[in-house]
Structure 1
Amino acid sequence: MAAPTEHAEVVCAVPEPAETDRTDPQNTADTEPGDPDPDPAPDPDPDSDEDAGEPAAPRVRDTPEDIRLEAIANSVAFHPSARVVACGDVDGDVYAFSYSCTEGETRELWSSGHHRKSCRSVRFSPDGGKLLSVSKDKALHVLDAERGALLTRIHKAHAAPINALLPVDENIVATGDDAGTLKVWDMRKGTSVMDLKHHDDYISDITVDQNKRILLTASGDGTMGVFNLKRRRFELLSEFQSGDLTSVAVMKRGRKVVCGSSEGTVYIFNWNGFGATSDRFALKAESVDCIAPVTDSIMCVASMDGFIRAVSLLPNRVLGCVGQHVGEPIEEIVTSADSRLLASCGHDQLLSFWDVSSLAAMTVSDYRKRKRKGGRLKALSKKALGDDDFFSGLQEEPDKKEAGGDEEDEEEEEESDSDSDSD
């Protein structure tokens, strides 16, 4: 087998001794028989020669690289089956990216500038073939998810700027606006089949039960709305809560509904008991702006303080910090279809990815430990500790108690933050 080119070059670079050195009497007299060569040529390192011709393998990370955006993104969504994520920004642009845990392989697929004002929400259709978006310009757009081409535009879908969006199935879409109006659309006809206004302020979020029968809305007026999709009618409003209700999600296999609030409290409702809360959980956070369920009992919540917290529901516990947009409010968080990744977008113009796969295996004890005064959030991943990307000096785990210390002080039961922990 012929030697590699670079190996051959190294061999040729070794100089041959001059002929005069072999016969020059002076050289013969200065060198004793058996003495080592005064200036031997270094042997080429075969290992280094072989490695020199092979490019370094790309680094494989725990999460995809963060994506730097041109403007603040208001919304982010995962494709239901492909490794694709989409976002909409304050300039009205919509972007789609393919993501990978291998460095250098995350790339932009397409961008769309069809909205004239800020894009407030983006969502993939259940089959992933379409991407829907709503905007401050009051329009509802349907894009081809693969190419970004505009398929459908409902120019004046609402009389007020649209703030919330939820594809219920392939044909039914729900939207909510800044004036508190909920509309449900049949996209086959391009017309609304429900047009109801029962909130006095903006609709911040919409969700639906597993059977696609009951729509739930969270509103800035402090109430949760309940709407019957099948009968196309309004059911009821919950009692007023303190602060704006900013998000809503169904948990505990449909038995519980949780709402986040601008006051940093999570309100818990029993299914079919929507009139009044059954429980509430005050987080030590500025707000609970968005909620992303990870399991039936564990969710991630994001706040204006930039932290993404993992929270257990019944028993109510803050488990730790999943990640952070350092010092910047977070607009939205969402989990991937397999619940292994969480994506977030914040005012730092970053689209970030976090590993939440370990949350599914966590068990939460009913026994509550007292945290140290001034104790920090427990970091639930290396990236949250600052070992990756732009993080440094992030919240670390509380120091372990010194040997011989009184552990009872550490494990005292603290005062309950909730009304009850009963399921």
Structure 2
Amino acid sequence: MEGTACSTVELAEQPMACCFHGSEPLVAVGLVTGQVQAFRIASNGNASTSAPVEAFTKKPHKESCRAIGFSMAGHRLYTGSADGVMKAVDVATSKVKKWQPEAHAAAVNALLPVAENLVASGDDEGCIKLWDPRQASEASASFSEHTDFIADLAYQEKDNCLVAASGDGTISITDLRKMKLRTRSEEDADDELLSVAVVKDGNKAVVGAGTGVLSLYSWGYFNDCSDRFPGHPSSVDALVAFDEDTVLTGSQDGLIRIISILPNSMLGVVGEHGDFPVETLALSHDRLCLASTSHDTSLRLWDLRMLQDGAEEEEEIPEQLEEDAQEGGEKEASDSEDEPQPKKKRKKGKSGKVTGKQKHRDASFFAGLLKQE
């Protein structure tokens, strides 16, 4: 069964993380062996016009490479490993720099460059650190408010804040100007938070949970979520913002979905990974290509040109994918009480619908494009 995959890239081993360059058609993958592989795709973001070409393969870590991210200028690829080490790969020369040999006491599970001279990282014990890439020494700041692994990090530009989602069921907000923790949501919850994205011009944080619920937090009010959308039948392990009103989700059921945020609705399915869960997602800088990884040894690239504003072509979604998406979208929050709890996210080792008249600016376009027959 195929969706809209434009290319499948065979990797040396199972991937643990993936990311796109900020201005070039370059995608990188961290592997369970400690290797990183980078590939160049077609300049228009459409990998179907030519096969992705390997840019480099390096092995910066002895243990699994679980977190990666390009610097803002794109000159370096930062990597984080299960052994707590962080390194930097020069994109032009592919040389590896021993940047932070003792970055974390636990495995690095999340990494996000938020400015050219500022990189955030989170580990399996809930510690978040901020780094100046120019310094090979102590972290600029360190926070240990969380009691379980840091699953994902996102940047809120308007207030210059870092948003972290944790396996302890809470999110935290760090002020990057003051290098100070601003707040953390209410005490530990049973539902692990596994992914996070910022939308609505910085006014909403969307968080994916282990039970398949998307929780929406209003900026400035972080004690508890302001809205919940239980549209996924299993955990939302990966989440990226497509635009200010739409997110793409990767779930344990193997589907990559398109979700409208306020109004909350399931718009369709981009594609799927079969019986494997979608572990990571990354969006190219021009939003033309989505990268996804699972438990196999491949990187999948999805052509998103059909989702751009003003697109004229419509593409039919396979019937089974539509049924799967609908089944998840129609699931009531109460149903989750009768289901077995999802497995704890691999540490890389109800519904509150908006009743107003506000419309998603692309919702009609997506709905028409991915219309249920």
Q: TM-score, normalised by structure 2?
A: 0.81
SS at match of 1:273: coil
Which residue of the partner structure matches residue 332 of structure 1? 280
Correspondence 1:199 to 2:146: yes
1:47-81 CA distance string (max 9 Å, x none): xxxxxxxxxxxxxxx86421011211111111112
Which residue of the partner structure matches residue 83 of structure 1? 25
Preserved CA contact (<8 Å) 1:306 1:324: yes
1:317-341 CA distance string (max 9 Å, x none): 1111101111101210111101121
| Candidates 191, 200, 204, aligned match of 1:252 | 200
Preserved CA contact (<8 Å) 1:334 1:344: yes
1:255-284 CA distance string (max 9 Å, x none): 111110111000001111111111000023
Preserved CA contact (<8 Å) 1:305 1:329: yes
Correspondence 1:288 to 2:236: yes
Preserved CA contact (<8 Å) 2:126 2:144: yes
Change (3 A) 1:65 1:414: closer
- State the shift of 1:213 in Å: 2.1
1:180-222 CA distance string (max 9 Å, x none): 1111011222231111100000001111211462111100000
Instruction: Provide the rounded CA distance (Å) in 2 between the counterparts of 1:322 and 1:110.
Output: 28
Preserved CA contact (<8 Å) 1:295 1:360: no
Of residues 100-109 and 349-358 in structure 1, the stretch that sits farther from structure 2 once superposed is: 100-109
Correspondence 1:145 to 2:101: no
Preserved CA contact (<8 Å) 2:6 2:303: no
Preserved CA contact (<8 Å) 1:355 1:381: no
| Candidates 150, 170, 192, aligned match of 2:116 | 170
Correspondence 1:359 to 2:301: no
SS at match of 2:39: strand
Which residue of the partner structure matches residue 227 of structure 2? 279
Change (3 A) 1:105 1:419: closer
Of residues 99-108 and 223-232 in structure 1, the stretch that sits farther from structure 2 once superposed is: 99-108
- State the shift of 1:152 in Å: 3.7
Query: What does 1:105-144 align with in structure 2 at a 5 Å threshold?
Result: 105-144=51-90
Of residues 302-311 and 236-245 in structure 1, the stretch that sits farther from structure 2 once superposed is: 236-245
Gaps spanning 5+ residues in structure 1: where?
Answer: 1-61, 364-379, 386-392, 399-412
Of residues 244-253 and 187-196 in structure 1, the stretch that sits farther from structure 2 once superposed is: 187-196
SS at match of 1:86: strand
SS at match of 1:168: strand
Change (3 A) 1:140 1:336: same
Letter in 2 for 1:342: L
Which residue of the partner structure matches residue 97 of structure 1? 39
Which residue of the partner structure matches residue 366 of structure 2? none
| Candidates 50, 71, 74, aligned match of 2:13 | 71
Correspondence 1:308 to 2:256: yes
Letter in 1 for 2:40: S
Instruction: Provide the rounded CA distance (Å) in 1 between the counterparts of 2:30 and 2:301.
Output: 16
Correspondence 1:395 to 2:341: no
Instruction: Provide the rounded CA distance (Å) in 2 between the counterparts of 1:330 and 1:284.
Output: 13
- Structure number, greater radius of gyration: 1
Instruction: Provide the rounded CA distance (Å) in 1 between the counterparts of 2:89 and 2:290.
Output: 24
SS at match of 1:283: coil
Correspondence 1:418 to 2:351: yes
- State the shift of 1:381 in Å: 4.4
Instruction: Provide the rounded CA distance (Å) in 2 between the counterparts of 1:72 and 1:414.
Output: 32
SS at match of 2:243: coil
SS at match of 2:236: coil
Which residue of the partner structure matches residue 183 of structure 2? 236
Percent pairwise identity: 35
- State the shift of 1:238 in Å: 0.7
Instruction: Provide the rounded CA distance (Å) in 1 between the counterparts of 2:271 and 2:51.
Output: 22
Which residue of the partner structure matches residue 211 of structure 2? 263
- State the shift of 1:168 in Å: 1.2
Which residue of the partner structure matches residue 185 of structure 1? 131
Letter in 1 for 2:271: G
Number of aligned residue pairs: 324
- State the shift of 1:360 in Å: 4.1
Of Structure 1 and Structure 2, the greater strand share is in 2
Change (3 A) 1:145 1:414: closer
Preserved CA contact (<8 Å) 2:65 2:82: yes
| Candidates 194, 204, 210, aligned match of 2:157 | 210
- State the shift of 1:355 in Å: 2.0
Of residues 291-300 and 185-194 in structure 1, the stretch that sits farther from structure 2 once superposed is: 185-194
Preserved CA contact (<8 Å) 2:22 2:285: yes
Which residue of the partner structure matches residue 375 of structure 1? none
Gaps spanning 5+ residues in structure 2: where?
Answer: 325-329, 334-349, 359-373
Instruction: Provide the rounded CA distance (Å) in 2 between the counterparts of 1:147 and 1:324.
Output: 35
- State the shift of 1:394 in Å: 5.0
Which residue of the partner structure matches residue 221 of structure 1? 168
Instruction: Indicate the RMSD between aligned Cα atoms, in angstroms.
Output: 2.4
Instruction: Provide the rounded CA distance (Å) in 2 between the counterparts of 1:260 and 1:105.
Output: 32
Instruction: Provide the rounded CA distance (Å) in 1 between the counterparts of 2:220 and 2:9.
Output: 41
Which residue of the partner structure matches residue 13 of structure 1? none
Preserved CA contact (<8 Å) 1:75 1:122: yes
Q: TM-score, normalised by structure 1?
A: 0.72
